[in-house]
Structure formats: structure tokens, C-alpha cells
A and B are shown apart, each in its own frame.
Chain A
Amino acid sequence: MLRRWLILAGIALGGLGLAQQRITIDFWHSMGGVLGEATEALVKDFNAAQNRVTVRSQFVGSYDDGLNKLRAALQAGGQGRPNVIQVYDIGARFMADSGAVLPLEDLARANNFDLSQFVPQPRNYYTVDGKLYGLAFNSSNPILYFNAQALEQAGIPYRNTWSLADLEAAARKLTIKDASGKTTRYGLSIPIDSWFMEQFSYNSGQYFCNNENGRKARATEVTFNNPAAVAFLDTWARLVREGVAANTGRNWADSQSLFAQGNAAIAVYSTASLTGVLRQVGNRFPVRTAFYPYLRERNGTAIGGAAVYLIRGFSDEQNAASWEFIRFLLRPETQAKWIIGTGYFPVVKGVTELPSVRQAYVRQPNYTTAVRQLETSKVNTASAGCLMGGFTEIRQIVQSAIEEALRGKPAQQALDEAKQRADQVLARYNASVRP
């Protein structure tokens, strides 16, 4: 009897010991504000759902801050590096080239995870040289935001697809000027961001960099002076000069406040801005969203946002724990909670059919725009998005070219000149990669 009790007590103690031996992994992310709360909620759910792994999450500032912290940790011999890190979309080439990443595909295969469960575009985006490196964590695309009240008053019927020409006509009609010719309500507001040029290229079936967006082979030249991008910038600049489109600079918030106060009738932002925009607009006017515009024929947008990567150099046990966290993030229920809380879209199939997601989409139909835009995008190398190194620096160059064009330099010339500079950056990057 006593012996049996002792054995039981031993098992109980052993169990306790096991329960305390949770493996701790570090997760660095760059989600602040509402998105940060949603991210922390996912981590909390994961830690509560099982007793083997504890994820220690840390907000590390912007994506660039995160990369710099990672860099510093790796320089210091790997001390303090995270198991999992969130890195922005355009860091895909860099992460693959860095040699610091354990490709997601290797882990998925080792754990018999079926990669066809992924929605194709996010999977394509983070596939580098034929291998999936990162898990699309927060995925977004650009959409049009309309002041529905202004649209109705101007007698413009709502549509969900817009060519650039249609958009220009609508913007002109929606612009209100006073007797002195000063604009009192702009028709259109686009923040100065290279991303909108990139996406317009993709959506018109054009590449932003050569070798089919760097998907067939490493990109060696940019192609952002393609006809679609030139037409987009030319129209944008013309509308700014004519007082139809507002120029609020590079800061998205400045454009957003203009739209929210009813001083711009159409705006272009990310789907990730949706929650914030709706909150800022309040009940001033109803908001409607639509697909991103295109030049002649709609091809499809690439995804934006960020992915999570596993960092090399940890024990198998640690990597297994990281994989367990990744698996949790991929579960449809987790995805459902994440997308309802944020406005991002799911990266695995079958999530939009879940009851909670359907209800949310009925409550706020604007949230379906991003998902429907994704579903109806053609899957090709244009909509896979440009994969190249030095992208952060190249974006700065594109943004300067936009600013030059908005001030009157012909769009073609501004982009041609910017291409010269960007090609140098790309060449320097490619030279710095040691195979």
C-alpha cells in the first residue's frame, strides 16, 4: 500500500517536473498598436493551449529595427538571437541570402506538413530560388477607399474594379473647388510610397524588376520604368498639379486624416489600414472599399505585409518547439481570430468558410475586399511580386522619383533616372552576396 502511494507520488512529482520543463522560445515582432495587441493575444493563446512550449514575445520596434537587432545578435556570435522573427515582405531576398534562416519548407517536409494547404500568393511571395523560406504571417494588399456619400452625391455608381482611366474620371468629378479655384475637397489622395507603384505594375501584369520579378533568376535590374508604372505616375502627377489629387507627402497618417475628415473622396491604402480608417472616419460618412486599379487589364496584386522566419543555430528540440508555434499560427481557428482582429487575410485555405469569419464579413463587408482581391488575382510571376535585394534603399529612390514627378518632371524621365541609381544599388547588393 505504502509502496503504491510512493510510486504514485513519484509519478505526480515527475509529472510536475515535466510540466515545468517547458521549452522557451523567443519571438520578435514589429506589430504595434491594435496589431500588436492581436499578436500578443495569439502568443497568449498558444502558451495557454499546451504545456510544452512557452513563447516569449517581444516587440522590437519597426521591421528595420528588428533586422538591426538580429544583425547585432548574429554579430555577437548569435547570443540573444530569437528563434522566430517577423520581417517585412521586401526582406525576403535578404533573409534567404543571409544564410541565417532555417527554411520553412525544410521543417514542413520533415514534419509532413502539406504545403498545398497554403494560399498560393503568400506562398509564392516567400518562395526564393524554389524554396519556401518564411511563413506569411500578416498579409495585406492595397485597396481603394471611397467616401460612399460623396460618390452618391456625384452620381457615380460604386464598382469594385477600376481602371486607372475610370478612377481619374471619378476623381475629377469628385473634386470641389471654390470660386478662387482653390480645392476644397480633393478627388484623390495617395501617400507617396513606392508600394503603390509596385502594386500598380503587378496589377497591370508588369514586372518591377527583371527576370520576371526576380522569380526566374536573381534580379539584376529594376524595371519600374515599365509602361504601367509610367502611366500611373504620369496620371498621379497630372492630378496633383491640377488640384484633383492631394499631395500629403510620405506620411500615410497625413493622407488618412484628410480622407477621414471628408477632404478627399478617394484614397489608396493597405487593407491593413482598414480598421484604423474606419475608426478615424467614425460616423462622418459610410466607407466603401474596392480592388486596386490597373492600366488595361486586371492581373492581380502581390501580397504585402510580413513573414515570420526561423533562425538557424538552435537545437533540434528548440526548432521543434518553434515549429509547434508555427503550426499553431497555421491552424484555421488561429487564422480566423487573427484576420478578424486585424484586417489581414488568411494564408491557409478554408479559413474564409469558418462561421466566425463569415459573420465578421457580413458585419463589415469592407473586410472581404482584400480576400476577394486575393482570390481573383491571377497567379503568375507578376503577381508574385518583385524579389530583390537592397529593396529598402530602392524604395527610397522610387519615392524620390515620385516626388520629382509630382513637381513636374516627366514621369518617364523621373523613373528612367531613378532606374540608373537603383540598378547600382542592386548590383552592389548582388556583389555583396557570397554564394
Chain B
Amino acid sequence: MINAKNSERNLQNSIPTRRIGRLGEGLEVALLLLPALLLLLVFTVWPTLNAFWLSFHRENLLGTERDWVGLANYAEMLRDPAFWRAVGATFLFAAIVVPVQLLLGLLAALMVARPFPGVALFRTLFFLTTAVPTAVAAVAWGWYLHPVGGTVNRWLEAVGLPAQPWLTSPELALPTLAVVTAWAGVGFTAILLTAGLQQIPEDLYEAARIDGAGAWRQFWHITLPMLSPTLFLVALLTVLTSLTAFGQIHLLTRGGPMESTTVWIYRIYQDAFFNFRFSYAAAQSVALFLVLLLLAALQFRGLGRRVHYE
């Protein structure tokens, strides 16, 4: 948009006027961006830098005095079995959330991307989970999954299956939370994928049909490649959100049972706000930050090559 305007001016205006125009535009852009940048600076950049700084210190009980300890917090972190358990739980969690959410989201999107009678109803139903706040969803799931007399167990028993300790057994708690998390994210995934599907030109399918391609081949050779930029974006977002999932864990299991749901970010939260080890928590935050950064970079490089851009 701006480029188009500029090239128009290139043709029309002499050089000095163009410079002034550019300068004015730059100022305008800067002014427009300022509020957002300020917010980002105060609420994101500064705390991030602060965490880096804090991670090289050790504090007294109330955090009113601190000493420089270099990499001691990081060294302790690498030796801490609780930290590694949390890292393991985090990746297991993501390994369940991401495929489940992508698959369900894609199925939902494929069903409602093309208009049919009553499509609005189905779209609303699929997207509804997005409108439910995490806290509300977590409390509701807490009811459904209650070990004794919860709805899910009652259904299981009604069809003759044994009740399961969904959130009270260390084996089941993390997968259960992962599915709840995927459920909550399906709506958002479906919205993005639906938008992606709708951008695929209809004439491609028409051409394919004329050439005699069936539904499966159309999906494999048109839908999937054309959708891949969106799929890539959604996959990236899902990995990142699943690695930083907090609310549902806090409300449903508080990291238990037996720390099976103490994921990385929950470990950080507990070390900071319960154990009052802010600098140690800061070191773990910095490590998580670096991992997220690395993952984002890897995904951009690796997935980026196979993505089909129009």
C-alpha cells in the first residue's frame, strides 16, 4: 500500500518534495506506532531484560538486596532433577496438544469452509470454544472430570467401562490436560484454517474435477499445499502456546499429582511466587525464552522450505 503510493510519487514529484513527503510519513508512522511500542517496552521488553539481569543474581528473602552470582543459577538449574522433569513434561504436553489440536481444527475447518444450509450454526459450534475463557473452561472440565461422579466417568460407566482417575493419576493427568488444552484451542485453529481454505481459488478445484481428480486427490494436491502457509503459521502458534499453557494447569491440577503436570512454566511460577526464588525462576524463564526462540527459528527454516507460497 505504502509502496504503491511511493512509486506513484516517484513518477509525479521532483526529488526534494519526495524527501519531505517521506519524512512526514515516517513521523506519522512513528507517532502511530508509539503507543503500541511504549506498551511493548513497559510490559514486555523491560520485564524480559529484567529477568535476564535477575538471573545472574541471588536475593535475600524479600528481594530487597541482591548479589551478583554469575551463572550459578544456570548451573544449579542444569543439575536440578525437578527442572528436567518439568522440561520433559512440557514437551510431552506439547507433543499431545499440537497434533490433536491441528487435526481436530483441520477437520472442523474442512467441514465448514464451504457454505451449505445451516453452516453458520456449525461454524458457531466449532468456534464456540474460543469464546470460553480459560478459567471458565477449566472449572467446567473440573466438574466433568471429577474422579467420583464426574460427567465423563458417569458416561463411561453407563456404557460399561471403568471410571478413570483423569486428573488424579500421574499417568493420565498430563494427557487429560493436553486434550482439554487442545479442545480449548480447536476453535481458534479452525477459524484460521477456515480463512486459509476460503482463500484457495475455486477454479483450481474446478480444473481438478474436470481432470477427474477425486476428493482425496483434490485434498492432497490442492487443499494441503495451498493451505500449507496457514498450517505452518497455526502449527507454530500451537507449539508456542502449548509450551506456555498455564491457566488450565493452575486451575485443574496445580502441577500435581506427583508433579506430573508441573510443566516448565509452572515450575517457574512455583519457584518465583511460592518458593520466593525469583532469581532462580528468572534463570529458568530465560532458558525457556531461548528454547522458544530456537523453536521459532527452526520452524521458520525447516517448515518454511516446504511451504507453498502463492
CB of B275 within 8 A of CB of A390, answer yes
CB of A392 within 8 A of CB of B258, answer no
Among A67, A99, A100, A250, the one with the most B-chain Cβ atoms within 10 Å of its Cβ is A250
CB of A407 within 8 A of CB of B62, answer no
At the interface, yes or no: A280 with Cβ under 8 Å from chain B? no
CB of A249 within 8 A of CB of B63, answer no
Chain B nearest CB from A219 CB (Å) reads: 16
Question: How many of chain B's residues touch chain A, expressed as a range?
Answer: 20 to 34
CB of A71 within 8 A of CB of B63, answer yes
At the interface, yes or no: A94 with Cβ under 8 Å from chain B? yes
* Contact digits for A380-424, partner B, Cβ 8 Å, 1 yes 0 no: 000000000010110010011001100100000000000000000
Cα of A257 to Cα of B276 in the assembled complex, Å: 33
Stretch at the interface among B110-118, B146-154, B198-206, B302-310: B146-154
Residues of B within 8 A of A399 (CB): 256
Stretch at the interface among B12-20, B28-36, B163-171: B163-171
Chain B nearest CB from A431 CB (Å) reads: 10
Chain A nearest CB from B309 CB (Å) reads: 47
Which of these, B62, B64, B149, B168, contacts A263 with CB under 8 Å? B149
Residues of A within 8 A of B170 (CB): 403, 407
CB of A263 within 8 A of CB of B61, answer no
* Contact digits for A246-257, partner B, Cβ 8 Å, 1 yes 0 no: 111111001001
Cα of A74 to Cα of B278 in the assembled complex, Å: 15
Residues of B within 8 A of A432 (CB): 58-61
Knowing A75-B63, A396-B274, A432-B61, the reply to whether A263 touches B148 (Cβ < 8 A) is yes
Interface residues of B in 31-79 (CB under 8 A from A): 58-65
Residues of B within 8 A of A403 (CB): 170, 256-258
CB of B148 within 8 A of CB of A246, answer yes
Which of these, B58, B64, B168, B258, contacts A74 with CB under 8 Å? B64
CB of B257 within 8 A of CB of A250, answer yes
Knowing A192-B256, A403-B170, the reply to whether A68 touches B273 (Cβ < 8 A) is yes
At the interface, yes or no: A261 with Cβ under 8 Å from chain B? yes
Interface residues of A in 301-317 (CB under 8 A from B): none
Residues of A within 8 A of B148 (CB): 246, 248, 258, 263
Knowing A71-B62, A247-B147, A249-B147, the reply to whether A400 touches B273 (Cβ < 8 A) is no
Cα of A70 to Cα of B276 in the assembled complex, Å: 12
Count residues on chain A whose CB falls below 8 Å from chain B CBs: 37
- Interface contacts (Cβ under 8 Å), in number, total 81
* Contact digits for B230-267, partner A, Cβ 8 Å, 1 yes 0 no: 00000000000000000000000111111100000000
At the interface, yes or no: B270 with Cβ under 8 Å from chain A? yes
* Contact digits for A66-79, partner B, Cβ 8 Å, 1 yes 0 no: 01101100110000
CB of B274 within 8 A of CB of A64, answer yes
Among A396, A399, A404, A432, the one with the most B-chain Cβ atoms within 10 Å of its Cβ is A396
Chain A nearest CB from B209 CB (Å) reads: 55
Residues of A within 8 A of B61 (CB): 94, 97-98, 432-433
CB of B147 within 8 A of CB of A248, answer yes
At the interface, yes or no: A363 with Cβ under 8 Å from chain B? no
At the interface, yes or no: A4 with Cβ under 8 Å from chain B? no
At the interface, yes or no: A434 with Cβ under 8 Å from chain B? yes
Across the interface, name the chain A residue whose C-beta is closest to B163: A182
Chain A nearest CB from B149 CB (Å) reads: 7
Chain B nearest CB from A414 CB (Å) reads: 10
Residues of A within 8 A of B259 (CB): 400
Among A75, A192, A258, A263, the one with the most B-chain Cβ atoms within 10 Å of its Cβ is A75
CB of B60 within 8 A of CB of A75, answer no
Which of these, A64, A100, A251, A261, contacts B149 with CB under 8 Å? A261
Cα of A244 to Cα of B257 in the assembled complex, Å: 20
Cα of A246 to Cα of B257 in the assembled complex, Å: 15
* Contact digits for A324-348, partner B, Cβ 8 Å, 1 yes 0 no: 0000000000000000000000000
Across the interface, name the chain B residue whose C-beta is closest to A409: B258
Interface residues of A in 63-106 (CB under 8 A from B): 64, 67-68, 70-71, 74-75, 94, 97-100
Residues of A within 8 A of B255 (CB): 396
CB of B256 within 8 A of CB of A75, answer no
Residues of A within 8 A of B60 (CB): 432, 434
Which of these, B63, B165, B258, contacts A404 with CB under 8 Å? B258
Across the interface, name the chain A residue whose C-beta is closest to B147: A248
CB of B275 within 8 A of CB of A393, answer yes
Which of these, B62, B165, B169, B258, contacts A100 with CB under 8 Å? B62
Across the interface, name the chain A residue whose C-beta is closest to B167: A249
Across the interface, name the chain A residue whose C-beta is closest to B256: A250
CB of B256 within 8 A of CB of A393, answer no
Chain B nearest CB from A57 CB (Å) reads: 23
Cα of A205 to Cα of B172 in the assembled complex, Å: 38
Knowing A74-B62, A75-B62, A248-B168, the reply to whether A407 touches B258 (Cβ < 8 A) is yes
B residues whose Cβ falls under 8 Å from a Cβ of A: 58-65, 142, 146-149, 165, 167-170, 253-259, 270, 273-276
Pairs A–B under 8 Å by Cβ, sample size 13:
A100-B62, A246-B147, A246-B148, A247-B147, A250-B254, A251-B142, A257-B146, A261-B149, A263-B149, A392-B275, A403-B256, A403-B258, A432-B58
Closest 9 CB pairs of A and B: A249-B168, A403-B258, A393-B275, A403-B257, A392-B274, A98-B61, A74-B62, A75-B63, A98-B62
